[in-house]
Amino acid sequence: MTKMDKASAFSRRAVLKAGGAVVVSVGMPIALDTVLGIDAALAQGARPPVTPDQLSSYIAVNANGSVSAFFGKQDLAQGLYTAIGQIVAEELDVPFKSVTVIMGNTATSVNQGGASGSTGIQMGGKQMRMAAAEARRVLVEMAAGKLGVPADKLKVTDGVVSDGSKSVSYAELIGGQYFNVQLQWNKEVGNTLYAPGKAQPKKPSEYKIVGQPLRREDIAPKVYCQQDYVTDVKVPGMLHGRVIRPPVAGATPATIDEGSIKSIPGVRVVRDKDLVGVVADNEWNAIKAAQALKVEWSAATPAFLDNAAATYDHIRKAPVRHRMVEKENGNVDEAFRSAARVIEAEYEWPFQSHASMGPGCGVVQVKNGEATVWTGSPKPHYCRDGVAAILNLPPEKVEAHSLAGSGAYGRNDAGDACMEAAVLSRAVGAPVRVQYMRAQGTGWDPKGPASIHRARAAVDASDKIFAYEFVSKGFSRIDVNSNESKPWDQLAGHLLGVSLKSGDGFGTPAESYEFDNKRLSWETIAPLLDRASPLRTSHLRDPVGPQIHFASESFVDEVAAALNVDPVEFRLRHVKDARDIALIKAAAEKAGWQPRPSPRHDQTGAKVSGRGIAYSQRGGTRVAIVAEVDIDRTTGKIWARKFTVAHDCGLIINPRGLTQTIEGNVIQGISRTLWEEVAFDRRNVTSVDWLTYPILDITETPERVDVVLLNHPEIAPSGAGEPSIRPMAAAIANAIFDATGVRLRRVPFSPDRVKAALS
Amino acid sequence: MARITLDVNGSAHTIDADPDMPLLYALRNDLGLNNPHFGCGLAQCGACTVHIDGQAVRSCITPVSAVGNGKVVTLAGLGTPEKPHPIQAAYVEEEVPQCGYCINGWIMTAAALLNRVKKPTDAQIKDALTGLKCRCGTHMSILRAVKRAAEMMG
């Protein structure tokens, strides 16, 4: 038994209609007593429909008393399986080991939004808690009837209901059968789906399993090669597909010289409108053919800018497409007119790439008006919807199996690969596995948006800040949506002629600074290319959070320095939320923060050090980070040497998993701050591999990351997957300022740029 | 096409393949060994790393015809839950991976180092691992695991 059955090898539809199973080489040790039993039940029509209003859609007790939890979100390998297992086991009063979380398959779970917005525990876990609590309530009522004892006299221990003398187990009550219990569904699908029953969940003071640092069970299968990834799926008759991208973004295929690959055996060229690909029974032949195929492309006007550095002037000058004031109090414009002095600054953040370790990969079988998808998408239900849309099939005719993919931190290219595999499969009448090449993964995945941020503070004659304004202007976070369910949000959709419906979204700083007059707003601009663009922008870990808070928390530091106030002291003066205050104090105390204004003036020589703090909120979670960095002035090289992270996400489900999740955020945050920038020229993106899109190397690892977890059992858990990457860039920038007196206002802080700034 | 015999994880396998085809595809598709991953095809990330005669090698750029009599060991051949290589045991103990797509590079490269150097210094560990990629940012726990494995190996 394992906590992490992702891939049922058996398709509900295949079982129902073909009387057999699709044979897939997914090697996860499937818990046959649960999954097979459930599929058999489905085949017999014994399971109620998998709809959000049914308890059976979330919880089942198997014949042996073990519990299956069907979860419609997705663990992007930060331990969510474990946390959900803890929550379910806690509410049901069963051992943690007896719970199996079955995640992401469209046939066995409802759409709870997939991996999205750090809501796995916050919203997905909330629903699983309520479902498990309801299951316990129903089981205790059943036991009361069976034992002839009032329900309030019964206790449950390890799945056995007892009054002290008589007892009955969950397995005896319902094992192997599904609940037939209606929930109060709020009629929403995705992250906001909520369907409680009549039960009240436990009080946090009663928790025995929630809050424990239980270990992950999904590690060993990876280390011992017992778990297959989506890249490893093999379906009988499966062909290998590769797609061809144009040298100039926006160009379309004019002519294809199929003779150019005639020496490569077993290859077919597929063209469906502007989507060009090859399929072959041998993967290496598909790769060779994709490289060798001669395609004449239409003359396309290069749509991009001279280089990435030109991004910021473009943003400054570009017409505002949408403007949103998210927070305003007082009269900001009038206040600035009466200021004794105004402090202002502008910050810049580049396009960044998901650059997943493995380029996007998906397997799709289109057959007889139905489709089966094997996907590593963070949002398998939406991926199912997207494949259905691109194939013009009803969603119920498409089933998506969710398997481990290479890491995704928002919307990467995993879904796009499935859509293109679907088009190729439809064309050749066989299952097709598409895997992108590295250049396509980095070059053509959805990007995090580039932006500029302007901040200003009005200061009166007594050095009081009485007005603050912060405006972001940039490309939209939803130029293509964060899920791939609509054809206009997919590369394949654009290539088949569907027009982009570019959405408008950005954000504002999340903090509790109070000023008499304050305005936070954002503005979006149009994309550089409105179809099949390698610079289409979407969600990359903590969408627009790192850029906004790089700017806002750098600016707070600039104001503190201008007023000659210690950066921690300055924040504590203006932050009004009690949890924020406790958090900032906790970070400073753990880091051994010595109060003084920045910058320090006591260092000479090439190598200097500094410390900086930044803090932010995100969806209820708060993070404060102290960075300590070393800088070599002669090379411009920065070593982000030590971090102290104070983290408050309400109730902590698993402190061990949380700590490692924070560590991952810190490392990725350093990487995005010091190294990451998508390069391009007028024709196309030129960041196409790890040399042209460098990330943080192991030799640059901090020597220490201290994590202070502030647990609030009385406060419902909020997210942790992303909040701690949010203040990273500002913490580092503020430490660099402390060390050097130089303020870096453009990310990344690559050595050449730092050296130039310091000279 | 050529008939090529490979010694992989202690067994001989004969395949018909394009001699220029990288070893990675022979392992994954002809031999059905899924553990080495395609990450870049450019020897820039390490996700495809295997041992050939004890050396960590990027199988994505190694022509299958160049392996010759070399003894290939993949992550699956390095150890088992019952008989793990110390670096595998340390990886589980430290709960290193997030997505885990990169682990062939880190584990196979670290194993080659630890088989060569007893009690490596922090600098030796980082030098051996430099250039490998992990996008999830598990760097801290990777280093903890390699040090733990070094201690286990005495």
- Whether residue B135 and residue A668 make contact (CB cut-off 8 A), yes or no, is yes
Contact A664 B98 (CB under 8 A): yes
Count up the domains in chain A and report the number.
3
Average pLDDT over residues A223-235: 95
Judge contact between A393 and A373, C-beta under 8 A.
no
Structure tokens, A117: 């917005």
A223 and A246 fall within a common domain? no
pLDDT band at A79 (very low <50, low <70, confident <90, very high): confident
Domain that holds residue A219: 12-228
b/e burial code for range B76-86 (CB count within 10 A of at least 16 → b): bbbbeeeebbb
When CB atoms are compared, the residue of B74, B79, B95 closest to A219 is: B95
Surface of B (96-125) touching A: CB under 8 A: 96-103, 107
For A167, list phi and psi in degrees, rounded to 5: -150, 160
- Tokens encoding B55: 């050396």
DSSP annotation of B14: E
Query: pLDDT grade, residue B92 (50/70/90)?
Result: very high
Does ipTM top 0.95?
yes
- Centre a 10 Å sphere on the Cβ of residue A480 and count the other Cβ atoms it contains: 29
Shared domain check, A149 and A258? no
Q: Where are the beta strands (DSSP E) in B1-154?
A: 2-8, 11-17, 49-52, 55-58, 71-73
Model pLDDT for residues A571-589, shown as the tens digit of each residue: 999 999 999 999 999 999 9
pLDDT in tens, A600-624: 999 999 999 999 999 999 999 999 9
Closest approach of A558 to chain B, Cα-based (Å): 30
Q: How far apart are CA A90 and CA A209, in angstroms?
A: 6
- Quick one: pLDDT band at residue A75, thresholds 50, 70, 90? confident
d(CA A180, CA A196): 14
Q: For residue A164, is it left (φ>0), alpha (ψ between -120 and 50) or beta?
A: left
Q: Which residue of chain A has the CA closest to B126?
A: A699
The answer as to whether A394 is a domain residue is yes
Boundary (domain end) residue, out of A194, A228, A262:
A228
pLDDT-wise least confident of A80-94, A113-127, A270-284: A113-127
Structure confidence at residue B18 (pLDDT): 97
Domain membership of residue A5 (yes or no) is no
- Smallest Cα–Cα separation from B123: which of B111, B113, B133, B134? B113
Burial of A127 (0-12, 13-18, 19+ CB in 10 A): buried
Strand bridging mode A167-169 / A155-157: unpaired
Phi, psi (degrees; rounded to nearest 5) at A737: -65, -45
Tell me: do A462 and A598 sit in the same domain: no
> Tell me: the pLDDT tens digits for B35-89?
899 999 999 999 999 999 999 999 999 999 999 999 999 999 999 999 999 999 9
pLDDT in the model for residue A11:
35
Q: How confident is the model at residue A44 (pLDDT cuts 50, 70, 90)?
A: very low
A133 and A147 housed in the same domain: yes
Output the pLDDT for position A176.
86
- Residue A698 has its nearest CB partner, among B74, B75, B139, at B139
Instruction: Give domain status of residue A3, yes or no.
Output: no
Q: Are residues A239 and A185 in the same domain?
A: no
Domain finish residue from A515, A537, A559: A537
pTM: 0.95
**Nearest CB neighbour to A77, from listed B47, B98, B140:** B98
- Structure tokens belonging to residue A623: 């993070």
Lowest-confidence segment of A68-82, A217-231, A288-302, A344-358 by average pLDDT: A68-82
Domain boundary among A228, A244, A263: A228
pLDDT for the residue A30: 29
Rounded distance, CA B37 to CA B132, Å? 13
Query: Which residues 13-42 of B are in CB contact (within 8 Å) with A?
Result: 17-18, 21-22, 25, 28-29, 32, 34-35, 37-42
Coil, helix or strand for A463? coil
Q: In chain A, which residue's Cα lies nearest the Cα of B87?
A: A223
- Whether residues A574 and A667 share a domain: the answer is yes
Are A698 and B21 an interchain contact pair (Cβ–Cβ within 8 Å)? Answer: no
Q: Is B21–A222 a contact, with Cβ atoms under 8 angstroms apart?
A: no
CA B78 to chain A, closest CA, distance in angstroms equals 9
Per-residue pLDDT at A47: 67
Q: How confident is the model at residue A36 (pLDDT cuts 50, 70, 90)?
A: very low
Q: Give the per-residue pLDDT at A46.
A: 57
Q: Rounded mean pLDDT of chain A? A: 93
| Partner-chain contact B137 A668, CB within 8 Å | yes
Paired strand residues for B51: B56, B73
B146 at the A interface (CB within 8 A)?
Answer: no
Which domains, from first to last, does chain B contain? 2-78 (3.10.20.30), 86-152 (1.10.150.120)
Mean pLDDT to the nearest integer, A687-700: 98
Same domain assignment for residues A149 and A234: no
Classified as helix, coil or strand, A128 is helix
Q: pLDDT over 90 for what percent of chain B?
A: 98
Quick check: is A1 in a domain? no
CA-CA-CA-CA dihedral for A488, A494, A497, A500, to nearest 10: 40
Q: Are A141 and A289 within one domain? A: no
Whether residue A701 contacts residue B140, with contact meaning beta carbons closer than 8 Å, is answered with yes
- Residues A219, A244, single domain; the answer is no
SS (H, E, C) A554-566: HHHHHHHHHCCCC
pLDDT at A15 over 90: no
* CB neighbourhood size of A606 (10 A): 9
List the Cα angle A645/A651/A654 in 5-degree steps: 70
Encode pLDDT of A393-422 as tens digits.
999 999 999 999 999 999 999 999 999 999
CA distance B70 to chain A (A): 22
Angle formed by the axes of helices A728-740 and A545-562, to 10°?
A: 30
Contact B42 A438 (CB under 8 A): yes
Mean pLDDT value across residues A22-26: 22
Give the pLDDT score at A32.
Answer: 29
Higher-pLDDT residue of A536 and A3 is: A536
Asked whether A610 and A738 are in contact (CB, 8 A), the reply is yes
How many helices (DSSP H) and strands (DSSP E) are in chain B?
6, 5
Interface test with A, best of B93, B95, B102 (most A CBs within 10 A): B95
Burial classification of residue A128, based on how many CB atoms lie within 10 Å of its CB (0-12 exposed, 13-18 middle, 19 or more buried): buried
| A305: helix, strand or coil | coil
Do A581 and A483 share a structural domain? no
Q: Are residues A294 and A215 part of one domain?
A: no
pLDDT tens profile A535-569: 999 999 999 999 999 999 999 999 999 999 999 99
| Cβ–Cβ gap A668/B22 under 8 Å | no
- Cis amide prior to A751 (ω within 30 degrees): no
Cβ–Cβ of A696/B131 closer than 8 Å?
no
The answer on pLDDT for A376 being more than 70 is yes
Domain presence at residue A289: yes
The pLDDT tens digits of the residues spanning A238-267 come to 999 999 999 999 999 999 999 999 999 999
Q: What is the pLDDT of residues A452-508, one digit of tens each?
A: 999 999 999 999 999 999 999 999 999 999 999 999 999 999 999 999 999 999 999
What's the rounded Cα separation, in Å, for the pair A370 and A393?
7
Residue B4: how many CB atoms within 10 A of its CB?
A: 21
Stronger pLDDT, B12 or A73, i.e. the higher one: B12
Number of CB pairs, chain A paired with chain B, less than 8 A apart: 163
> Which amino acid belongs to residue A75?
D
pLDDT reading at A20 higher than 90: no
Nearest-Cα distance to chain B for A232, in Å, is 6
Residues of chain A found within 8 Å of residue B137, distances taken between Cβ atoms: 663-668, 671, 696
CATH number of A66's domain:
3.30.365.10
Q: Find chain A residues with C-beta within 8 A of B35's C-beta.
A: 225
* Statement to judge: residues A271 and A216 lie in one domain: no
Those of residues 59-98 in B touching chain A at CB distance below 8 A are: 74-76, 79-81, 84, 88, 91-92, 95-98
For tokens 């999740």, what's the residue? A661
